[in-house]
Amino acid sequence: MRPEILFPLFAEIDSLPGIGPRLKPLVVRLIGGEHVADLLWHLPSSLIDRRFSPPLSETIDGSIVTQDVIVERHEPSSDRRRPYRVICRTDSGFLVLAFFNARPKYLGDMLPVGEKRIVSGKIDHFRGEYQITHPDRIGTEAERAQIQTVEPVYPMSAGVTGKTLIKAIAAALDHLPDLPEWHDAALQKRHQWPDIRTALYQIHHPQDEGDLSPDHPARRRLAYDELLANQLALALIRAKMRTLGGRSIAGDGRLRAQLTHHLPFALTNAQNRALGDIYADMQGSGRMLRLLQGDVGSGKTVVALMAMLNAVETGRQAVLMAPTEILARQHYETIAPMLEKIGVTCTLLTGRDKGKARQAVLDGLANGDFAVAVGTHALFQEAVAFQDLAFAVVDEQHRFGVHQRLMLAAKGTAVDVLVMTATPIPRTLTLTAFGDMEVSRLDEKPPGRKPVDTRVLPADKVEDVISGIGRAMRKGAKIYWVCPLVEDSEVLDLQAAEERHRILADIFGADRVGLIHGKMKGKDKDAVMERFAHGDLSILVATTVIEVGVNVPAATVMVIEHAERFGLAQLHQLRGRIGRGDAASTCLLLYAAPLGQISTARLKIMRETEDGFIIAEEDLRLRGAGEVLGTRQSGLQAYRLASLDLHGDLLAIARDDAKLILGRDPDLKTQRGEALRLLLYLFERDEAVRYFRSG
C-alpha cells in the first residue's frame, strides 16, 4: 500500500549507523517509533555553540569554548580521587585537560605529546589554571568542521548519547527522498515556508536560538504538514461515512414516552437539543457519526438511552460499549431496570462471561431476543453477531481508537454511531481528535444537583482530614480517598494506596475501609464497589481507577492526596464522582509544598469553578495539548511536530484547506492530490487512504 518513494523513511532505525540491537529499543522508546521518519520528527530542544574560541583570559567560567592546543605533557595520577591531567599550550596560555577514571593508553593515543589538537568543552578557572574537565570533543585539524560548529541538543533518555542521535539523524536526513510539494503555492509564499527537505535540514542544523522557535518558518511548515495530514484524514473518513449511505430510522415514540413517564426528572434544554440533533441524523439518509460531549453528571446516559429506544421502536437492536468492565456493569445496572419497566429486553456482555452463560447471550443477540446490549470491547469480537444492529453508543470515546469504532459499526448494516465523552474537550482538541464527527454539547446540569464544596489544604493537615472523615462517617457518609500518582509507576501507585489503606484500616477498622486498584481482577473490583455502594464499606481507598463513570450517590466526601500531581481534567473527573445525590458534598485537595506555578494555578481553578468546559480550556492553556486527556494513553492523536497551544492558528487553516481540497478533488486524483496522498502516508494516516481505496 505505501508508495515506494517513502520506503527509505519507513526503514527500521537500526539500518542507520550507530544504532545496533542493544541501542534500538532505547531509541524506539525515546522517539516513540521505530522508523527512520520517527527520528526526523524528534526535534532538538536547544543547541550548543562551539564556534566561540576566545583568548583564555577572556573566557567565562562554565561557558563552552573551542581551543587549538599543542599537547605538552601527560601527568597520570596514582590517587583515584585525583584526575589524570594533560597539559596543553594555546596561543594565549596553558590549558589543563582533566580526566577522572582515565585510561592512559586511550588518552596517549588521543592526545599525543607534541601534536596539535582541537578540543571543545566547558571551561573553568581552577587554582590559578584554566581547565576543561572531560572535553566533549577532541579531534585533529581535519575534523575542525565537525567540531567547531553549532550542535543541536535533543531530548534524551538513559543509555542514548547525543553523539549517537546526531549521527543517526544526519544519516536519516540523507535518506530523505525528493518529495513533490503538496501545499498550495500562494499559502506557502504568504507564510514564507521552505520545502520539506529544507525545513527538516534547518530544524536539525540550528545556527542560533531563533532557529528553535516554534514560530520559525521551518517549524511552522512542519507543524502545518502534520495538522493538514490529520484534518485531511478526518475529512476523508467523514466524507466516506456520508457516501456510504445509511438507513432512515424514525421510531413511533411509544417506548420513549413510557420511559419519560418513569423518569424522576424532566430532561434539560441541552438534553432535548442533543436529542433533536440525534433524531435528525438517524432519520437522514447518511450514516450518523456524532460526538455527545457532556460534563460529569450532565445526563448523557439518558440521552443515549432515548436514542437507542428510537432504534428499538423500529424493531432493530442497539448497543452501548464502555471501556472498562466496572463502567459497563454500572451502565447495565442503570439501564436494565428502566428498560424492564417498559418491556424492553437488555443483556450484558464482557470479557468475563464464559461458557454457557456467554453462549446464551450470543444466541439472544443473534436471534433478536435481546433488543439492547451493554458491554465492553467484547461486543465486537468475531463470535458476536446481531440479528439487526442499527444503533451503537461508544462511551468514553478517547479510550478507543477509530478502528475499534469501525469494528463495532461493522456488526450491522449502516449502523448509526453516537460517541459520548464525559471529559470536556477544548474546542481546538475537538477539531483535531473528533473532526470526523458532528458535535452536540450538554452544557447544563440536571436540576437538583448541588455544587461541590472544594477546599485546598497542605498535606501536613492530613491528621485533621482523617478526624473530619471520622465525623462524616458517623453521620453515615461514604468517602473516596484517592491516592497519588507516583512517577508513572503502577507498582509505586499501588504501594502508596496499600499504605494509605493500612493506616485508615488501623484507625477505622478493616471491615469499614476498602481498597481498589488497576491490578485487581474484574470480579474482585466489582465486589469491593458493591460493598462500597450498597454495603458495609464507608471508605474506599483507590488509585485513579475510579476516575471514569463510577456512580455511588451516597458518596459525599472525596480526599485527593498529592492533588498537585494530577492534571486538571483528571481532578475534575475525580471530583465528579461525588455530588450525585441530594446531600451536600465536599472535595479536599491535599498538596505537598512548595507548589510550582502551574500546580498553584490548577488548584485555584478547581476551587473556583465546576464547569468542565472552562476547566478543559485552562488545562490546555497550562499543559499544552499533548498532555490533555493523557494523549499518550488515550488513542487521541499525539502530535510530534505541531503544538496546539503554539500552532492553534494553523489548525483552523488546515481544516479549511482540507475542506477546499476535497471539494475540488474528492478522490485526490490531481497532481496535488497525488502529492497529498504521500503526505497522508508520511504521517501514517493510512486508514484514511484505505477508506477511499475501498470506496
| Domain of residue 90, CATH code | 2.40.50.140
3-state secondary structure of 87: strand
Task: Say if 571 falls within a structural domain.
Answer: yes
Domain check: are 395 and 459 in the same one?
no
- The residue behind cell 473518513 is 237
H or E element, residue 621: helix 612-623
pLDDT computed for residue 424 by the predictor: 67
Domain check: are 270 and 364 in the same one?
yes
Packing angle of the helix pair 254-262, 300-312 (nearest 10 deg):
150
Domain check: are 388 and 293 in the same one?
yes
Domain check: are 34 and 76 in the same one?
no
* pLDDT 10s digits, 43-65: 998 888 899 999 998 899 999 99
Provide the domain count of the chain.
4
Flag whether pLDDT at 403 surpasses 80.
no
Domain check: are 322 and 181 in the same one?
no
Is the preceding peptide bond at 3 cis, omega within 30 degrees of 0? no
Task: Say if 318 falls within a structural domain.
Answer: yes
How far, CA to CA in Å, does 299 sit from each of 9, 302, 444, 549?
47, 6, 9, 12
Of 369, 380, 434, nearest to 412 by C-alpha is 380
Report which of residues 321 and 424 the model is more confident about: 321
Domain check: are 174 and 140 in the same one?
no
pLDDT computed for residue 691 by the predictor: 53
C-beta separation of 197 from 178 below 8 A = yes
Q: Which domain-ending residue is among 163, 193, 213?
A: 213
Q: What is the CATH number of the domain that holds 544?
A: 3.40.50.300
Flag whether pLDDT at 613 surpasses 90.
no
Q: Which residues is 346 bridged to in the sheet?
A: 372
Taking the CA of residue 261 as centre, how many other CA atoms within 13 Å lie in the half-sphere pointing to its CB?
A: 9
Cβ burial, residue 554 (10 Å; 0-12/13-18/19+):
middle
Domain check: are 190 and 318 in the same one?
no
Task: Say if 587 falls within a structural domain.
Answer: yes
The sheet carrying 317-321 orders its strands as: 346-349, 372-375, 317-321, 389-395, 416-421, 289-294, 438-442
Q: Which of 68-82, 98-112, 387-401 is least confident?
A: 387-401
| φ and ψ of 77, to 5 deg | -130, 135
State percent of the chain over pLDDT 70: 88
Q: What is the 3-state secondary structure (H, E, C) of 426-484?
A: CHHHHHHHHCCCEEEEECCCCCCCCCEEEEEEEHHHHHHHHHHHHHHHHCCCEEEEECC
Flag whether pLDDT at 314 surpasses 90.
yes
Q: Average pLDDT of 257-265?
A: 91
C-beta separation of 374 from 347 below 8 A = yes
Q: Which domain-ending residue is among 609, 642, 673?
A: 609
Position 241 confidence tier, pLDDT thresholds 50, 70, 90: low
Report which of residues 516 and 410 the model is more confident about: 516
Position 628 confidence tier, pLDDT thresholds 50, 70, 90: very low
Domain check: are 434 and 493 in the same one?
no
Query: What distance in Å separates the CA atoms of residue 93 and residue 398, rounded to the nearest whole number?
Result: 63
Task: Say if 279 falls within a structural domain.
Answer: yes
Task: Say if 359 falls within a structural domain.
Answer: yes
Query: What distance in Å separates the CA atoms of residue 23 and residue 498, rounded to the nearest whole number?
Result: 36
Flag whether pLDDT at 388 surpasses 70.
yes
Q: What is the 3-state secondary structure (H, E, C) of 539-571?
A: EEEECHHHCCCCCCCCEEEEEECCHHHCCHHHH
Q: Which domain-ending residue is among 111, 126, 148?
A: 148
Flag whether pLDDT at 401 surpasses 60.
no
Query: What distance in Å separates the CA atoms of residue 637 and residue 653, rounded to the nearest whole number?
Result: 18
Flag whether pLDDT at 157 surpasses 90.
no
Domain check: are 456 and 436 in the same one?
no
Query: What distance in Å separates the CA atoms of residue 595 and residue 629, rounded to the nearest whole number?
Result: 22
Position 631 confidence tier, pLDDT thresholds 50, 70, 90: very low
Cβ burial, residue 110 (10 Å; 0-12/13-18/19+):
middle
Query: What distance in Å separates the CA atoms of residue 15 and residue 174, rounded to the nearest whole number?
Result: 13
State percent of the chain over pLDDT 90: 45
Query: What distance in Å separates the CA atoms of residue 685 and residue 181, rounded to the nearest whole number?
Result: 18
pLDDT computed for residue 638 by the predictor: 60
Domain check: are 422 and 457 in the same one?
no
pLDDT computed for residue 625 by the predictor: 46
Query: What distance in Å separates the CA atoms of residue 175 and residue 5, rounded to the nearest whole number?
Result: 11
Flag whether pLDDT at 99 surpasses 70.
yes
DSSP per position, 287-356: --EEEEEE-TTS-HHHHHHHHHHHHHTTT-EEEEE-SSHHHHHHHHHHHHHHHHHTT--EEEE-TT--HH
Query: What distance in Å separates the CA atoms of residue 539 and residue 468, rounded to the nearest whole number?
Result: 13
Flag whether pLDDT at 15 surpasses 70.
yes
3-state secondary structure of 100: coil
Report which of residues 553 and 15 the model is more confident about: 15
Domain check: are 458 and 403 in the same one?
no
* pLDDT 10s digits, 80-91: 888 999 999 999
pLDDT computed for residue 540 by the predictor: 93
Position 693 confidence tier, pLDDT thresholds 50, 70, 90: very low
Task: Give every CB contact of residue 45 below 8 A, 6+ residues apart in sequence.
Answer: 153, 154, 155, 212
* pLDDT 10s digits, 265-313: 889 999 999 999 999 999 988 888 888 988 767 788 899 999 999 999 9
Domain check: are 552 and 600 in the same one?
yes
Flag whether pLDDT at 581 surpasses 90.
no
DSSP-H helix ranges across 144-253: 144-147, 162-174, 185-191, 196-204, 217-244
Mean pLDDT of the chain: 85
* pLDDT 10s digits, 429-488: 666 666 657 788 887 776 667 788 999 999 999 999 999 999 999 888 999 999 876 555
| φ and ψ of 344, to 5 deg | -110, 130
Q: Which of 141-150, 202-211, 243-252 is least confident?
A: 243-252
Of 580, 227, 181, nearest to 432 by C-alpha is 227
Q: Average pLDDT of 342-370?
A: 93
Task: Say if 316 falls within a structural domain.
Answer: yes
Flag whether pLDDT at 194 surpasses 50.
yes
Of 149, 130, 131, 129, nearest to 139 by C-alpha is 149
pLDDT computed for residue 77 by the predictor: 87
Q: Which residues is 84 bridged to in the sheet?
A: 99
Query: What distance in Å separates the CA atoms of residue 594 and residue 600, rounded to the nearest whole number?
Result: 10
Query: What distance in Å separates the CA atoms of residue 136 and residue 122, rounded to the nearest whole number?
Result: 8
Task: Say if 657 falls within a structural domain.
Answer: no
Task: Say if 298 falls within a structural domain.
Answer: yes
End-to-end CA distance of the chain: 15
Flag whether pLDDT at 503 surpasses 90.
yes
- Give the range of the structural domain holding residue 522, as residue numbers without chain letter: 452-609
* pLDDT 10s digits, 321-342: 988 888 888 899 889 999 999 9
